[in-house]
A and B are shown apart, each in its own frame.
Chain A
Amino acid sequence: MTEPGYEATRSAIEAVWRIESPRLIAGLARITGDVGAAEELAQDALVIALEQWPTQGVPDGPGAWLMATAKHRAIDLVRRRARYDQKLQEIGRDLESRPELSGEPDVDAMDDSIGDDLLRLIFIACHPVLSPEARAALTLRLLCGLATAEIARAFLVPEPTVAQRIVRARRTLAERQVPFEIPARTELPGRLASVLEVIYLVFNEGYAATAGSDWMRPSLCAEAMRLGRILAGLMASEGEVHALVALMELQSSRTGARTDPAGEPVLLTDQDRGQWDRLLIRHGLRALERARQLGGVPGPYEVQAEIAACHARARSVQATDWERVAALYVVLGYLTPSPVIELNRAVAVAMAYGPDRGLAIADTLTTQPALAAYAQLPAVRGDLLAKLGRLDEAHAEFDRAAALTSNERERALFLARAAACAQA
């Protein structure tokens, strides 16, 4: 049907779907106790909307309409299941393994506890029984309303792979009988860490893609930030949630300055800070302040956000509080030990106290097996050696870095620096 305005209505329906689907699925999951069924019911409501609205017009309260339509179907489903269970009982089968679904579903409670339901949905989608990739796919699907094809494009994997990940994830949740609930206090730290990990994974998937050839990848950052803000609203007393929002917003504030007009990456120290997004910086610093005010021992996201904040606050590279950055890397290395963090500390120490001090730290990393093929190690050493006037050694390091990187643009950059060492 190509009725005038059909496409416009379709776009409007999609917009409503994007806004409402997480709350819809969350509420339905509580009625049915089954995330897969909840998603199907929500999809059914969407299909009905797509059929009816173009001809009958978009209802005045489209969100409420979708909710009411899906609720009716959910009640039908639960009643059918209850009758089915009753029948089974009559013929004497053992029903111990089936979740309790007898009686009328409490649908009116659905509107009162939407926040809790949304939180339950986040926790189940990010459950540690699922692999990080499966968690990310399920989260984007259930909480961001993304289609399987969109998720596939975002993660640069074939569509059937994502579809299979989601199917398997749903099956795992059902088989393990993962309950639709907010974790108990004792379990909470681990479960929350799993949620934060997924959100940051989604963010980094978008942030690592500097080339904007496909809009889906950069927009992953926006999805992750939105998820973070939703979680910060639902779990306002958790410092690490605010800290993760701060970290993502502060990093994202630099997006516009991270590539030059030709699409070449621009290093932090060379970026035009006038292009940084002041609104995101303000937001990020406010979220970090909230994390600080909640007190407690700072977690890894808070320390990383503090580092990002040092850069965000500085008007120039010279004005950056590098001593503070170096100290924060010590804390971060203590919380999550990693040679990559140690290399970052070497850079900060070099900025704060001189290249020789930074090089001394970087030199201790050359025997680390984890960094044996890591191009950034020779690149950092090359940079520090060049600053110290040891150009022959610097030249060799940049050549090594060029040989190790798989990124063409980065290789060109390293080779140019190697050539500059030879000329000087």
Chain B
Amino acid sequence: MHLVGSSCHGGVWSDSHAQPIQDDLWDLFSEIISKGDVDAAFIERDSRFEDARVDLTRDLSTMHRLVNRE
């Protein structure tokens, strides 16, 4: 699976690859891992690298917590 931050401008959503991952996305993630047998999930980040380390550390921590809850 892939997870990447999204954003909304002018009512149109896009995958900005520059944001932390939003709660709606984590809800979908939890839904899938509760039902399926996924091998791996990757968080992607392609810009705003100056903030990426903090965001990715937090997002990875969230991912581990949700996976371990299953």
**Genuine A/B complex:** no
Q: Which residues of A contact B (CB under 8 A)?
A: none
Q: Which residues of B contact A (CB under 8 A)?
A: none
